[in-house]
Amino acid sequence: MGTAGRRNQEIYDLVGIGFGPSNLSLAIALDEHGASAQQPPVTSHFFEQQPTFGWHRNMLLPSTTMQISFLKDLATFRNPMSRFSFISFLHASNRLVQFVNNQDFFPTRHEFHQYLEWAAAGVGDQVTYGTEVTSIRPCAEAGGQAPDLLEVEVRGSDGTTRVVTTHNVAISTGLVPRLPEGTATDERVWHSSEFLGRFGAHAPDDLKSVAVVGAGQSAAEITRFLYDSLPHAQISAVIPSYGYSIADDTPFANQVFDPDAVDEYYFGTERARDAFWRYHRNTNYSVVDADVIRALYQRSYDEQVRGSRRLHFRNLTRVAEVNRAGSGTRVMLRSLLDDRTEELAVDALVFATGYDGLDPARLLGDFDKHFQRDAAGRHRVERDYRLVTASDLTCGVYLQGGTEHSHGLTSSLLSNMAVRSGEIADSIVLRRTERELDRASPVKEAPSAA
């Protein structure tokens, strides 16, 4: 579309892709910026493929708790006075006093979901649900590209597509479920990200034997849930380690999630970054909260006391192969102890095998070649979370997620999202001001030499 065709169409300052907690937090940061700043508000709109707001709904298992303090909510670390804080939510829900009496920093995931839904409703005019963004491309203008504009293609739930124009995008499409190579999901083989939906599609009697693969938080929570929900079933936990390892959330280690740690990681040496991962990967990956580990061990011990077993831990074991036939699933398990394989027949198999990070290339397609990569082939990202361009493009592609290599461990987590969203909002406003100043005083041509 040329400039003339765009005349009647709004050009946004920002289009947000995905409306999980990260972009919800950004919508709030922009809303609060508009209310307090001298400059005109940032015009923005967000697109979310789900029909309504939902945060890992398929893992909303009973009694599961948050892995961050309630104060690491959508806004407080950026603006403790925000009307979108978790405390405001409790006040609005008439539960503030009871929450304090409960003396727990870690709400249930169910309650945090209620909070997120409440906050999303508060900026509901900023988002269109049931819309999937399918591509991002530079804006074509007569005679070339408009360096400061992007076109975002959006597909509605009825299959119709439309294109919106914007100066910036914030990609926040979340983690991508990971399966062992050569395996695929179906009605009997599930990834943890689809767990409750798949589980609910079966009558309990249909699930007499279930195996859960992995030794992270998802695997442990699902194993506990299956054991409690299916009292007649054999539950096998296929764990690659010798036993579940504890998630380190002690105060000194927890500092890796502080806003300051982002600067130290971003501007640190390669050796410093390596140290973050070497010493502190166990704050998040392949680890389990202590209470869930103890709950599982208690169940296992009670079985020993009773002398009947239906909870089986297969440690130092990985899945080598999965064979599906009808309603049957045969899993080949390889023991790391003696390299022997053993076949296990189950009615359902749950891969709680983790996630890959967000990769913006999927949405950028051909446009991706306009962005720089480092020697290891990873996108180069500015401190303000904007992809570094390889050409003279002045439009912005910001990332919320997919920046572990540049910004550290908080990239895929909630801990720093309030501060990160504030930094992205500030960057968009600053760059808009610079663009307007450039337009108001274009660089004068150098006088030709006499």
* Residue 256 CA neighbour count, 13 Å, CB half: 24
Selected binder of ligand FDA within 28, 42, 116, 133 (CB under 6 A): 133
Q: Residue 415's binding partner, choosing from ligand FDA, ligand NAP, none, with beta-carbon cut-off 5 to 8 A by kind?
A: ligand FDA
56 counts as binding ligand FDA under rule CB under 6 A:
yes
In the complex, residue closest to ligand NAP by CB: 216
Selected binder of ligand NAP within 13, 111, 221, 368 (CB under 6 A): 221
| Interface region with ligand FDA, contact rule CB under 6 A, candidates 14-22, 80-88, 115-123, 384-392 | 14-22
Mask of contacts with ligand NAP, 175-214, x by CB under 6 A?
-----x-----------x--------------------xx
Q: Residue 414's binding partner, choosing from ligand FDA, ligand NAP, none, with beta-carbon cut-off 5 to 8 A by kind?
A: ligand FDA
Maximum separation of any 2 CA atoms in the chain, in Å: 101
21 counts as binding ligand FDA under rule CB under 6 A:
yes
Residue 137: CB atoms within 10 A of its CB come to 17
421 counts as binding ligand NAP under rule CB under 6 A:
no
Q: Which of positions 171-230 make contact with ligand FDA (CB under 6 A)? A: 172-175, 218
DSSP alpha helices (H): ranges in 46-172? 86-92, 96-102, 109-122
Residue 403 and residue 394: Cα distance in Å, rounded?
21
Please answer whether residues 22 and 103 qualify as being in contact, where contact means their C-beta atoms are separated by less than 8 angstroms. Answer: no
Q: Which residues pair with 351 in a beta bridge?
A: 191, 213
Residue 232 and residue 207: Cα distance in Å, rounded?
9
234 counts as binding ligand FDA under rule CB under 6 A:
no
Mask of contacts with ligand NAP, 286-305, x by CB under 6 A?
x-------------------
Residue 139 and residue 165: Cα distance in Å, rounded?
8
Residue 225 and residue 292: Cα distance in Å, rounded?
11
Please name the residues in contact with 433: beta carbons below 8 A apart, sequence gap of 6 or more.
39
- Nearest approach in angstroms of CB 429 to ligand NAP is 31
415 counts as binding ligand FDA under rule CB under 6 A:
yes
Count, residues in the chain: 450
Selected binder of ligand NAP within 58, 63, 67, 114 (CB under 6 A): 67
- Nearest approach in angstroms of CB 20 to ligand FDA is 2
Closest CB to ligand NAP among residues 27, 219: 219
Number of residues near ligand FDA (by CB under 6 A)? 30
Residue 34 and residue 293: Cα distance in Å, rounded?
46
Q: Residue 173's binding partner, choosing from ligand FDA, ligand NAP, none, with beta-carbon cut-off 5 to 8 A by kind?
A: ligand FDA
Closest CB to ligand FDA among residues 59, 233: 59
Q: Residue 401's binding partner, choosing from ligand NAP, ligand FDA, none, with beta-carbon cut-off 5 to 8 A by kind?
A: ligand FDA
Q: What is the dihedral of CA 213, 18, 24, 175, to 10 degrees?
A: 20
Please answer whether residues 22 and 421 qualify as being in contact, where contact means their C-beta atoms are separated by less than 8 angstroms. Answer: yes
Q: Which of positions 336-355 make contact with ligand NAP (CB under 6 A)? A: 352-355
The closest alpha carbon to 200, from 60, 296, 352, belongs to 60
The closest alpha carbon to 57, from 225, 222, 193, 217, belongs to 193
Secondary element (H or E) of residue 169: strand 161-171
| Interface region with ligand FDA, contact rule CB under 6 A, candidates 48-56, 114-122, 418-426, 430-438 | 48-56
109 counts as binding ligand NAP under rule CB under 6 A:
yes
107 counts as binding ligand NAP under rule CB under 6 A:
no
Mask of contacts with ligand NAP, 244-273, x by CB under 6 A?
------------------------------
335 counts as binding ligand NAP under rule CB under 6 A:
no
Q: Which residues of 208-226 are buried (b: 16+ CB within 10 A; e: fewer)?
A: ebbbbbbbbbbbbbbbbbb
* Residue 425 CA neighbour count, 13 Å, CB half: 28
Residue type, 2: G
Q: Residue 50's binding partner, choosing from ligand NAP, ligand FDA, none, with beta-carbon cut-off 5 to 8 A by kind?
A: ligand FDA
67 counts as binding ligand FDA under rule CB under 6 A:
yes
Q: What is the distance between the terminal CA atoms of the chain, rounded to a whole angstrom?
A: 43
Q: Residue 395: which region, alpha, beta or left (left: phi > 0; alpha: psi -120 to 50)?
A: beta
Please answer whether residues 22 and 401 qualify as being in contact, where contact means their C-beta atoms are separated by less than 8 angstroms. Answer: yes
Contacts to ligand NAP by CB under 6 A: 59, 64, 66-67, 109, 180, 192, 213-219, 221, 238, 240, 284-286, 318-319, 352-355
Contacts to ligand FDA by CB under 6 A: 17-23, 47-50, 55-56, 59, 66-68, 132-133, 172-175, 218, 400-401, 412-415
